[in-house]
Structure 1
Amino acid sequence: MERTKTVLAAAAVAACLPYLALKLIWVAGGNLGIPPGSPLREEGTALWLVNILTIAMDGTVVLLVLALTRPWGRRLPAALLALPLWIACGLLGPIVAAFPAQVLYGVLSGGAGQDSGADELLDGWVWTLVYSGFTVQALALGALFVRYVHDRWGALLRSPLHPDIAAPDRSPVLARLGFAAAVLLTLPCVAGLTTQMADQSADRRIVDAAFLLYTLVALAGVGRLLRTGGTGGTRGAVRRTAPRLGPTLSAAWIGSGVLACWGGWLLLGALTGGGRPLGQQMSTGTLLAYACQALLGLLLAAVGAQQLRHRARLLRHRPAPGGTVRQDA
């Protein structure tokens, strides 16, 4: 077990190094992997700051690996780990889904339909190196995260999605209103993504399709969490096929993270100029789609977190077998 954890940690850290090295070279003024004529060769404070930010973000992955593998990481407050891990899952999630699909499509199509603007921005080997590293990061960090959560909160994840409560309970009104608002917000978000897909390269369409997939995953996950207030079923009955909390919570976690983090990142790049070197024309519709995507993710995350707190209160105060009310810690 410990050997596997060590291998995963080493793989995650090693996968960070190529990206960190390239970013440090670029911040220092080097042009390794940047072809002549690329917009990235132009001096710009916004682009320099974006590079600094991405160095910090990749460095945070190394810190997360240590927190997930060292004994002191088990003593950290849950909230201190939750936010950076949610961001990491959100940013790496689409890469795991889209990059292998892009590679496979490129092999099968002989490169037809690929994004020519990407090669004008950076040499082809840079994209392959960086996104291969991100994929390894995601898989290794994800495996470490799963092991950490299993060791620390395994009982919670294995608990029934719909715990038996003496009387059926309803989710808080604010949670239901928030989810209804999220469903309405999905309409302009999906419309923006589908409109972009019509005029994009095959590579970009694959990425947008991944975003659409995660939108559905997030909505399904949070929607199911809203029904965790109780089933009103027969108490004490053993239901081996009863759904567990883990899969639903995972869907809500990664889906909301993808929407919030990528929507926010793309919007930041568009507003600061950090996204313009990618050759994208930032229309009002595109900016609106990014803003809706970020807001949708944040709203779903807030609804999911509120519903988890609601679930915890239900389980703390549910009647014990003798008829008294539990006051679990």
Structure 2
Amino acid sequence: MLIKVSWVVGSLIGVLPIGSGFGMAEWVALNTVTIGMAAIGIALALALVRPWGMRIPGALVAFCAWVGSGFLVSILPFGVVGALLEGDGGSRGVAEDPAMPLWEGVLVQFGFLGTGLGLALAVPAYLRRRWPQAFTGRIGDGPRTALPYAAAVGAGVGLVWLSWAVGGTVGITHPAERTTDWYALGAVSGFWALAGSLAVGMVARARPARLPRWLPLVIGWVGSGSLFAWSGWKLPLTLYMAWADPVGAVPPENPVVAVGLHLCAVVAGATMLRTLIRTGVRVAGHRDQPAVAARLEV
């Protein structure tokens, strides 16, 4: 958060450069938004581990934890892949931006990975303390429902991203702009979209019956959060680049295709989370525990 504050203040007083492809107003607006996101992240981190966090409205904590997990837990494999591919000529890391010195880029990346690891440990522990019944038992304990359409939409989006990750060109207008990081991020995003969609389908269909309930819940949580958070972040950026056409910022994807995919991903992610919550309520009711069901629904 302090790094982003320094970027905003430094650019306004003229002692730090503006990021490539941005004007002053866009640069300040973008980093002001991320300062707010960082502040929310700090509050969430404290709420997950301090006793007063159990007294905050559950929906608020759960939503922030879901979005945070979608942003940072899902990106952990990308950090591993990026480290393995480091040094490849096709990669364009943040440290290559003239507005960011090497040490600052390393610190930012460490912050992403460190926070993601922290959320991976703290969020499940918090959720199990607050709603323990949602994670107990097996998939077949509750009633079956129809396969949610959102899972099919999320899987479709994931397949497109995976096709791009393996070199597909459908929907790509500037293939020369594809980098190693772009391929790796597409593969990770596609994986979580497919895995989350499959997990939500398992929960809704109550199959396989003997599978421990917590496993598809965790995968569905991260997968749906990844669809919602990352596409919710990329959608306005894609619209901005299509409208402003900034110099030095040419994405590989066709902007119309990219906007359509991000819209589908946002809607699918939110609907998949709703399916997980509603299924948890039905399971609680199926076990004749109306009080627990009411708490879950809230």
Amino acid at match of 1:113: G
Alignment of 1:40-51 (within 5 A): 43-51=23-31
Q: Secondary structure at the match of 2:199?
A: helix
Q: Is the Cα–Cα contact under 8 Å of residues 262 and 294 in structure 1 kept in the other structure?
A: no
1:156 shift after superposition:
2.3
Aligned Cα RMSD in Å?
3.4
Q: What's the counterpart of residue 212 of structure 1? A: 190
Q: 1:171 corresponds to which letter in structure 2? A: T
Which of the pair has more CA radius of gyration? 1
2:232 maps to amino acid: G
- What amino acid does structure 1 have at the position aligned with 2:268? L
Q: Distance in 1 between matches of 2:187 and 2:161?
A: 12
Q: Distance in 2 between matches of 1:207 and 1:146?
A: 25
Structure 2: tracts of 5 or more residues without a match: 292-298
CA positional deviation for 1:70: 1.7
* Aligned mate of 1:179, from 109, 130, 151: 151
Aligned residues between the structures? 282
Q: Is the CA contact 2:138–2:213 (under 8 Å) kept in the aligned structure 1?
A: yes
Q: Name the counterpart of 1:56.
A: 36
Once the two structures are overlaid, the 10-residue window that deviates more, 282-291 or 245-254, is: 282-291
How far apart are the structure 1 equivalents of 2:186 and 2:39?
27
Which residue in the other structure is 2:281 paired with? 312
SS of 1:39's equivalent in the other structure is coil
| SS state at 2:124 partner | helix
Match of 1:104 in 2: 84
Q: Which residue number corresponds to residue 262 of structure 2?
A: 293
Structure 1 residue aligned with 2:296: none
Classify 1:46/1:156 alpha carbon distance in 2 versus 1 (closer, same or farther; 3 Å): same
Rounded Cα–Cα distance in structure 2 between residues aligned with 1:36 and 1:64: 31
Provide the rounded CA distance (Å) in 2 between the counterparts of 1:152 and 1:187. Answer: 35
Q: Which amino acid aligns with 1:52?
A: T
1:101–1:206: 8 Å Cα contact kept in structure 2?
Answer: yes
2:91 paired residue number? 114
CA distance 1:48–1:276, shift in 2 (3 Å) = farther
Matched, 1:81 2:53: no
Q: Which amino acid aligns with 2:212?
A: R
Whether the aligned pair in 1 keeps the contact of 2:227 and 2:265 (CA below 8 Å) is: yes
Output aligned runs, 1:194-273, within 5 Å: 194-195=168-169, 199=176, 200-228=178-206, 242-273=210-241
Cα distance per residue 1:54-81 (max 9 Å; x no partner): 0010111110012112212112222111
Which secondary structure does the structure 2 equivalent of 1:243 belong to?
coil
Distance 1:280 1:70, change over 3 A: same
- Aligned mates of 1:94, 1:314 — CA distance in 2: 27
Contact 1:171–1:307 (CA<8 Å) still a contact in 2? Answer: no
TM-score with structure 2 length normalisation?
0.79
SS in 2 for 1:55: helix
SS of residue in 1 equivalent to 2:249? coil
Structure 1, unpaired ranges of 5+: 1-19, 232-241, 319-325
The farther-off stretch of 139-148 and 307-316 is 307-316
Letter in 2 for 1:154: P
Partners of 2:152 and 2:197 within 8 A in 1: no
